[in-house]
Amino acid sequence: MQNGKINAPYSTNTQIKGVSDDYGEELQRWIHSHLYYPMEAVQAGEEGPASVHVEVDRDGRVTKVRLTGQSGSYYLDAAATGIFRNAQLPPVPPDMQGDTFPIDLTINYILIRR
């Protein structure tokens, strides 16, 4: 999905670790509004899980992004990290302690075959 429009028949399953449940739900909404399935990966029939480590500051600005688990597809890995580069995520809730927040997530790209 890119800009709210499906560009390929696919499904994703995102798992987020390191944040409160409420903030995790906000992040899920943000991720799903920015997530896309690269056409190069669709055309090649590529799918799989890509794991990413993201660090954000209290304002939700992404300060670090790194791939921690490869999907086996250059395009899927690039898409999974690319949505976070220089991104502005939702601000961190006041009840979460600290100045920076590590978030670990896995995006499982799945093509729907009919």
Give me 85's structure tokens: 């580069």
**Is the pLDDT score of 59 beyond 90?**
yes
Distance set, CA 14 to CA 29, 50, 73 (Å): 11, 10, 17
Per the model's pLDDT, the better-predicted residue between 83 and 9 turns out to be 83
Poorest-confidence range of 14-18, 39-43, 83-87, 106-110?
14-18
Q: What are the pLDDT digits (tens) for 6-56?
A: 444 555 666 677 677 788 888 888 988 898 889 899 889 999 999 999 999
23, 49, 3, 64 alpha-carbon torsion, rounded to 10°:
60
The pLDDT assigned to 5 comes to: 43
